[in-house]
Structure formats: structure tokens, C-alpha cells
Amino acid sequence: MFGFNASPFILNYVLKFHANKFPLDECSETLKSNFYVDNLVKTGNNPKILSALYTSVRERLHEGNFDLQSCNSDCVVLKNKMEADGTLSAFDSGCEKVLGYLYDPVQDSIRVPRPSCDAEASTKRKILSETSKVFDPLSLYLPVTVRGRLFMRELWKLKLNWDDPVPQIMCSVWKTLASDLSAIDSVSFSMRVLDEGKDTKLFLFCDAAKYAYGFTVYAVQDGKYSLVFAKAKMAPLQGRSLPTLELLSVFLAVKCFPFIKQSLKDITVKIFM
């Protein structure tokens, strides 16, 4: 993982403009495709290739007067190189913030930061604020976070004003959910889910229930399963038949699949649905 501090406008325009000045190689492709807001994230299984890429990215950015900084990696060789270059992250927390997740370079894992959910929240406005504290772009924690969305929908059905007190029975449900949300950071996920050059299979599981529908994506290598992505949506309030919702879950998976495939462009995979 490489870090780079800049505004989104610089990343979207200036860096891509700068990258286009160079031949279309892996370094240029990395500069164009691997910046996410203010983080440059790159993964791989070959330390030599990553070390060479780190050097070329750093030099190429420097030619445009950009300084790569706050870098980190789980690879000891690359980490020592970053320290020698003065780019190694100096934070004392042990984890790096990447796209809303906390990256642990020692365990090579990610998890969401612990949200401080107020179990005593008692209005629709406050509960919505509390359920929105978990930022999980890959939906790895969907079994818990989707409950917050379902709970908010039930509050909408009550037609309460934003600051009206929530019924006591709903407050009891919220306290249980708040407890689960506050403990969500106890689960972490390995960053290393795929190895280049190995047979890889992607399994997409689509399903639906009365109130929601969605899908999950698992990658399989050497008989080991890893969750890589998930997504869910609320069922329409007007009501749909279960077969219709199941078809919607398949449609959602197909619509999201190009993004998933693009993120695995360096790996040849077989798809199963």
C-alpha cells in the first residue's frame, strides 16, 4: 500500500495528465487506475516486482513535483526500502486508513474502525446518524449493516417526524443493533485472497427475501474460500413477489460484475452463478 496526500481534483486531473506523458507501462497504469481519493493502493505477490514498481512510481511522481509519502507494506523488504527513502508511515497506531478501512500491515488484514454508536438514541434523526457511521464500500460487514437499513425503513413506516420520540419497543431493537455495530471491528479480513498464476474461480451467490435482495462474491483458490465483495438493496415498499426479487438480485450481480472483473484484471478466473 502506498500513500499520497493530495486533493481529489489533483488526483483526477493533474496526476492522470502527468501519467499520460510517459509510455503506457505498469507504472503509468498504476498512476491512472490505482488512486482512490487520496490513497494509492497496489497489491501483488512478487516483492521484487512491487519494489521496482514502488521505485518507478516514486521517481515518476517526483518528476511532476509530487512526493510519495506515508507508505506501508506487509513485505519486510519493501518496508525497509520505504524506511530508507523516508517515505514509511510515521503513525503510531499500527494501522493505516485506506478507503474507510484500517489496514494492518503486520497481519495483512483490513477491518472497519470501531463506530461509537449511541445505544440511547431515541429519534429518527439520531438513529439515522448512528447507523451511517460504518463505511464499508466492499460490504464485507453486510449481515450487520443491512439491519440498520431495514430498521430505518421500519421507522419511516411509522411516519414519525425527524425529532419525534421512537416507540419504546423500537428503542429496544435499536439497543441490540447498536451493540452489534459497536463490536463490528472485532472481525477482520485478509488482504491476500488471490495468488497470481493459480486457477481461480469466482462464485456469485444471489438471493432475496421479503425485505431485501443482493449477492455475494467468493473467490476460490486451492480449495480456500474468500469473501471479496457483496451488495444488497432494500426491496420496494410497494411489495414484489419473491421470484421477482430473486431476479432483481441476479440483475444486480450482473450489473456489478464488470466492476468486479476489472478489479481482477490481472487474474484469469472462471465464473459460477
Q: What is the DSSP letter of 180?
A: H
pLDDT at 9: 56
Q: How many whole angstroms separate alpha carbon 155 and alpha carbon 142?
A: 20
| Strand, helix or coil for residue 242 | helix
Split into its structural domains, the chain has a count of 3
pLDDT at 256: 93
Question: Which residues lie below 8 Å from residue 98, measured CB to CB, with a gap of 6+?
Answer: 1, 36, 39, 41, 110
Q: Which amino acid does the sequence have at 20?
A: N
Do 189 and 108 meet the contact criterion of CB atoms below 8 Å apart? Answer: no
Q: How many whole angstroms separate alpha carbon 9 and alpha carbon 91?
A: 26
**116 within some domain:** no
Quick one: average pLDDT of 197-226?
91
**109 within some domain:** no
Instruction: Say if residue 153 is in the same domain as residue 176.
Output: yes
Q: Give the CATH number for residue 229.
A: 3.10.20.370
Look at residues 175, 180, 188, 95 and name the one whose alpha carbon lies nearest to residue 138: 188
Beta bridge partners of 272: 203
Quick one: average pLDDT of 220-249?
91
Q: pLDDT, tens digit, for every residue of 136-159?
A: 999 999 999 999 999 999 999 999
Please provide residue 78's backbone torsions phi and psi, each rounded to the nearest 5 degrees: -70, -35
Cell of 219: 473467490
Instruction: Say if residue 175 is in the same domain as residue 198.
Output: no
Give DSSP secondary structure letters for 11-26.
IIIIHHHHHTTS-SSH
Q: How many whole angstroms separate alpha carbon 167 and alpha carbon 253?
A: 37
Q: Which amino acid does the sequence have at 28?
A: S
Instruction: Say if residue 177 is in the same domain as residue 214.
Output: no
Which domain covers residue 228, as residue numbers? 193-272
Is the pLDDT assigned to residue 69 strictly greater than 90?
no
Q: pLDDT, tens digit, for every residue of 3-44?
A: 444 455 556 677 788 888 888 899 998 888 888 777 788 888
**206 within some domain:** yes
**22 within some domain:** yes
pTM for the predicted model, two decimal places? 0.84
21-to-18, 27, 57, 66, 153 alpha-carbon distances in Å: 6, 12, 13, 15, 50
